[in-house]
Structure 1
Amino acid sequence: MLPSFLCIGAQKSGTTWLYYQLREHPQIWMPPIKEIHYFDSVFIPENREWTEELIDRQCKQAISRADMLTSNCRGYEKGHIEQIMDGDKFSLQWYQSIYNTVGSENAIHRGDITPEYSALPYEGVEYVRSLLGDVRVIILIRDPVSRALSHTRMHVEHRRSTSLEELFDFVRGDVFKMMGDYKTFIPLWKSKFKENLLFVPFGRIETEPKAVIEQIEKFLCLESFCNYQLLKKKIHKTRKKQFDEEIVREIRIFCEDQYKFLYDNFPDSFLKNI
């Protein structure tokens, strides 16, 4: 058994919020950890320098949370989470085993929300298509500069201390650019999934969270669910931090092409909400 829908980012655009909402829908089964990283760990092998540790950390956090380990069909068994942590990570058998569990088999949809999938190369997206078939794909779009600044703040938080020189290296690096490169990854995913893509402007999560979820329910052909508990809760909000103007300028220069792409491909009614 494998996922029937993906959310591929963009990073720092509400993917964690979306995970917690969809986990509550009775017709959806979400894994006990938010980010699986199967496809990027296969096609961007350097990601394995940190994804294995991330999987283990997410699993330990899930086991420690009482609300994750419940006896109903939407809960998660401790043994299954331990299997994710101890299995042959990033093999196809491991990926399938995540979805072969109680609750998943009776769900209409199973999801995988991993923002790094937006950075997959052509052959990676092609493999997604061949493995998952006509899977539905959700893409959250945030204002390019706002997203990039939030990504940079997250980088600083994780590193604790980052010099100006290190920050320049980060915002000029391939990883930073790939995670917000709408101009590259949207046409790539469109070429393989066409009408099976749903684009959601990030700003509507704050202003119209219920409408966003209803749009996604419709996209996934699900019954409306009225008992979401966390719709207005901000999750993983990055701490505010001011950056040197030179860093901000570097980010703005990178984002120029991203704005042009968005304005050439999306209506004003969509863009005013990103």
Structure 2
Amino acid sequence: MTQFVIGIGSQRAGSTLLHRILEQCSPIYMNPVKELHYFDTLFHVRHESVLKHFSVNQLNREIDRLVKAEDFAFVNKRYKNSLRANFLLATKPIQKIDYIDLFRPVAKHYDMLGEITPEYMILPEPGIRKMREVVGEDAKILLLARNPVKRFVSAFKLLMYGLPNSGQLVFEEEMLKILDTGGEWMRVQDALNDYATALTLYRQEFPHVLMLSHDALFGDVEGTAATLAEFLEIPISLGNYQKIVGTKVNALDETKELSDATLALLQTRYESNQQYLDSFFGEGNCVA
């Protein structure tokens, strides 16, 4: 019987690295569309038009690749799964898609299937119950946590990435504006820093939920490999893991620094979130 491994967050906390680790270091089949956005779209955390736009772009890119290809050795079952998943997400209403279909034609060949979508962390309670109904209560749920201030800054860098005139001064000015005005983006960021609520809600529905720290994922390779192997009840290749963390994964420019005043503002805003992580992992173990 198929068992699912679902990464539920948090955004900018190492989900790309975790996906690669599970894909290359374990027997889990990780969906080649790293973030399926199935449940968050189904429950309106993310607008369906955003998912369709992304999936259409992915399809267009792959069609161009196929047209230009002279050697089609890359068209294996994993590649077909990627094409099929993007096609379904681009062309069918999310309510008409069976979740397991997003893993075909590979699903029947693996005992464990997985994906990671950070926005699952902020699903409403009915969404989490629906996830349990679809993937089963024996699913293994993984939540990545990061220092809330640094996670927020990283998310803001992603928001500003590629925009003109996004130098140091403009970067901080824009951050202060969005902190002052609030809005939907800030609401989502606050929710993505609320690890206590996410852990509580998921543990109400799933007996197997593990929260890992961003610091440990990058810095304590042996310990994290052992923790994942015990929790998932599968072997984790330590050698492959060590190779993967030798390179940065999905990193943005880290050169921008904030003034002491702005940093203090963020620390105050997320003080309770950091205190929760300190109590959970031990002070100083979720700071990066």
Task: Work out whether the TM-score is over 0.5.
Answer: yes
- Matching residue of 2:152: 148
Cα shift at 1:58: 4.6
1:31 aligns with 2:39: no
Choose which of 172, 175, 197 in structure 2 pairs with 1:184: 197
- Matching residue of 1:193: 206
Moved more, 236-245 or 163-172: 163-172
Normalised TM-score (structure 1): 0.82
- Matching residue of 1:91: 95
- Matching residue of 1:203: 215
Q: Which runs of 5+ in 2 are unaligned?
A: none
Q: Relative to 1, partners in 2 of residues 1:260 and 1:227: Cα closer, same or farther, differing over 3 Å? A: closer
Q: Relative to 1, partners in 2 of residues 1:112 and 1:170: Cα closer, same or farther, differing over 3 Å? A: farther
- Matching residue of 1:253: 268
Q: Relative to 1, partners in 2 of residues 1:140 and 1:91: Cα closer, same or farther, differing over 3 Å? A: same
Cα shift at 1:72: 5.6
Matches of 1:62 and 1:232, distance apart in 2 = 29
Matches of 1:224 and 1:8, distance apart in 2 = 20
Give runs of aligned pairs for residues 1-274 of structure 1, distance below 5 A.
Answer: 4-25=4-25, 27-58=27-58, 64=65, 70=74, 75-77=78-80, 79-80=83-84, 83-84=87-88, 86-93=90-97, 95-102=99-106, 104-134=107-137, 135-157=139-161, 159-161=163-165, 166-171=174-179, 172=182, 173-194=186-207, 196-225=208-237, 228=240, 229-240=243-254, 241-264=256-279, 266-268=280-282, 271=285
Retained in 2: the 8 A contact 1:2–1:99?
Answer: no
Retained in 1: the 8 A contact 2:56–2:87?
Answer: no
Q: Which runs of 5+ in 1 are unaligned?
A: none
Retained in 1: the 8 A contact 2:196–2:276?
Answer: yes
Cα shift at 1:197: 0.8
Counterpart code for 1:190: R
Retained in 1: the 8 A contact 2:28–2:110?
Answer: yes
Cα shift at 1:94: 5.1
Matches of 1:62 and 1:213, distance apart in 2 = 34
Identity of aligned residues (%): 22
What is the DSSP-based 3-state SS (H/G/I as helix, E as strand, rest coil) of the residue aligned with 2:199?
helix
Q: Relative to 1, partners in 2 of residues 1:94 and 1:128: Cα closer, same or farther, differing over 3 Å? A: closer
Matches of 1:84 and 1:69, distance apart in 2 = 24
Q: Relative to 1, partners in 2 of residues 1:21 and 1:60: Cα closer, same or farther, differing over 3 Å? A: farther
CA RMSD of aligned residues (A): 3.2
Q: Deviations over 1:121-143 (max 9, x none)?
A: 11111211222221110111111
Moved more, 166-175 or 177-186: 166-175
Matches of 1:27 and 1:51, distance apart in 2 = 28
Cα shift at 1:89: 4.9
Q: How many residues align?
A: 269
Matches of 1:46 and 1:106, distance apart in 2 = 31
What is the DSSP-based 3-state SS (H/G/I as helix, E as strand, rest coil) of the residue aligned with 2:210?
strand
Cα shift at 1:16: 0.3
Retained in 1: the 8 A contact 2:41–2:48?
Answer: yes
